[in-house]
Chain A
């Protein structure tokens, strides 16, 4: 349906949206649910790539429109979440010492209560927390180990753990020389492992 008049097109679109609101919304919801992982991954990726730019833009914007934003905060009674955050950050920096002292005092006065509630939470959600910790350790542990193996400078802690596992020696007894030698050995082993598939094709 061609529209020459942009105003008419806008009206048509608005009406179409109003008339098919539920349908469109459910379609969008379904679309999002089906591709949720892909979308969130791509958002994360975008954020990773352009994170610095976005943050810099935000900072610049705040610096340039500071007065306006703060005036807006006051005017709208801090309804806006972002503005509220900005206001709170400012407030925190301005009253840091006072607030920290207040927190400490509260903690001191209500120590028993806080500890009891933490204990109760732990009791109620123990399994859940443990599962989360296990999952986190499993994921980051694998990542850390891979990083340690792949990095050129193998980290001392990784080598210490390796030596500790092999010979059952506590970490504080391992001297620097033995660690550096182990590092060298691991590098040589890695070289040999990498070269093996290449020289398979060469015959003596």
Chain B
């Protein structure tokens, strides 16, 4: 199996974070009436909703971990 390149993943994550921040800034500017909505806004909106989905998956994972930890605690008792 191919070995995971951790540095590469971190770099990707950082790059994605930048993209998400840009998208959110674009949306905020349009909502504040600093800009008019364009195609870019549409792409930004899609990016932000993708970000939302990823984030919600992350939160779900963490919540699941908490849940399992709680069940373990019960089991030990």
A: residues with CB less than 8 A from B are 163, 166-170, 173-175, 177-178, 181-182, 184-185, 188-189, 191-192, 194-196, 198-199, 201-202, 204
Say whether A181 contacts B59, CB under 8 Å: yes
Docked CA distance A98–B75 (Å):
56
- Give B52 Cβ to nearest chain A Cβ, in Å: 5
User: Would you call B16 an interface residue if the criterion is a C-beta within 8 Å of the partner chain's C-beta atoms?
Assistant: no
Residues of B25-75 at the interface with A, using a CB-CB cut-off of 8 Å, are 27-28, 30-31, 37-39, 41-42, 44-45, 48-49, 51-52, 55-56, 58-60, 62-64, 66-67, 69-70
Known: A170-B70, A191-B48, A195-B44. 11 other contacts (CB 8 A): A167-B64, A168-B67, A174-B66, A185-B59, A191-B24, A195-B45, A196-B45, A199-B45, A202-B39, A202-B42, A204-B42
Q: List 29 A-B contacts (CB under 8 A).
A: A163-B63, A166-B63, A167-B64, A168-B67, A169-B63, A169-B66, A169-B70, A174-B66, A178-B59, A178-B63, A181-B55, A181-B59, A181-B62, A184-B55, A188-B52, A191-B48, A192-B49, A192-B52, A195-B44, A195-B45, A196-B45, A198-B30, A199-B37, A199-B42, A199-B45, A202-B41, A202-B42, A204-B39, A204-B42
Docked CA distance A116–B3 (Å):
76
Residues of B contacting A: mostly:
helix
> How many chain B residues touch the partner (CB < 8 A)?
28
Contact of A188 among B24, B31, B67, B69 (CB under 8 A): B24
Say whether A195 contacts B31, CB under 8 Å: yes
Find the B residue at minimum CB distance from A204.
B39
Contact of B45 among A170, A177, A178, A192 (CB under 8 A): A192
Say whether A191 contacts B27, CB under 8 Å: yes
The interface residues of chain A lying within 8 Å CB-to-CB of B37 are 195, 198-199, 201-202
Say whether A195 contacts B63, CB under 8 Å: no
The interface residues of chain B lying within 8 Å CB-to-CB of A181 are 55, 58-59, 62
Docked CA distance A184–B17 (Å):
14
